[in-house]
Amino acid sequence: MTMTPNEYLKSVLESQKMKPGCAELVQLEKNRVEVEAVLRKAFGDGPTIRYGGSKAKGTMIRESYDLDIACYFPHDDTSAGETLHEIYENVRKSLEKAGYVVEPKGSALRIKNASVDFHVDVVPGRFVDDKKEDANLHRSTGEKDWLKTNLKVHIAHVRDSGVTDAVMLLKLWRARQDLHVKGFVFDLSIIDSLSGKSALPLDEQLEHVLTTYRDDIDALTVEDPANPSGNDLSDDFDDAVKSMLADAAAAALDLVEEGGWEAVYGRVTPVVPDLSRRAAIERAAASAVPVKPWSPGA
């Protein structure tokens, strides 16, 4: 029986969902517990440690995912450093001391060992006051070396947008096309494009976003909902990024016209049963991870 375009896209989406209890999330939770233990050993009970990123926003996809772990210190706590840069560097050093390979990226610290990416980003920062909502982060790229953010606002903006299915499918497209555009900026562009269009069928939502990228990308507003006037995201959505998205969107729309959405996403791969996936992941982890957790070359 032939599926409609909307049914096909929903089947792609279903194959990419990370459901509670799946092997990948079980492993990520283990990773999160171990990382938090390292941070607690280094800094005690001072920092607030929370989930962020696609895990908290409900947009995590199986093919390309990571876990953001926010590590925010109280506004009057200098135990990790006097400045945001010192906090960033001291958190990095604590992770390296525990045996991780740490790759700085923007305001985050990516954790790896010599051969395995653990899909974990640690984001150090400091709350601006006792409310523990707004936080300042060090920024290792761009002209401005810090930014003010609000994890709850970011999560709610995406999670409650009404278009998370479209966000997930377009993230899959971005991953398969190897499009280098910052994840949160990409989410913001999709949500802005689909403002007032959440009731459209999924295939029409995707077509609308891709058409906007191709024909009218300069009309998109990409503003940080936590600090629209203070955080300039233009460096992350500059002419080079826009041109890349426009070209990729044009190619995708041509494929859709010629062969439908399957020409873009391909045949849906059935999800391997969780128990088998978990066993495979645990076997891989056992062979890759030495006695000292995530220690390179041990």
181 inside domain: yes
In a domain, 296, yes or no: no
Backbone angles phi, psi at 240, to 5 degrees: -65, -45
Query: Residue 257: which CATH number?
Result: 3.30.460.10
Structural domain harbouring 36: 5-288
Q: What is the pLDDT of residues 8-65, one digit of tens each?
A: 999 999 999 988 888 888 888 888 899 999 999 999 999 999 988 898 899 999 999 8
- Tell me what the pLDDT averaged over the chain comes to: 87
Average pLDDT over residues 97-107: 90
Asked whether residue 71 is assigned to any structural domain, the reply reads yes
Q: Which two tokens stand for residue 224?
A: 């940080």
Residue 146: how many other CB atoms lie within 10 Å: 17
**For 198-218, what is each residue's pLDDT tens digit?**
999 999 999 999 999 999 999
Confidence bin at 272 (pLDDT 50/70/90): low
Number of domains in the chain: 1
Instruction: Using alpha carbons, list the distances in angstroms from residue 276 to 172, 201, 287.
Output: 23, 34, 17
Share of the chain above pLDDT 90, in %: 68
Residue 259 has pLDDT above 90, yes or no: yes
Return the bridge partners of 123, or none: 70
Is 298 contained in some domain? no
Q: pLDDT at residue 278 above 70?
A: no
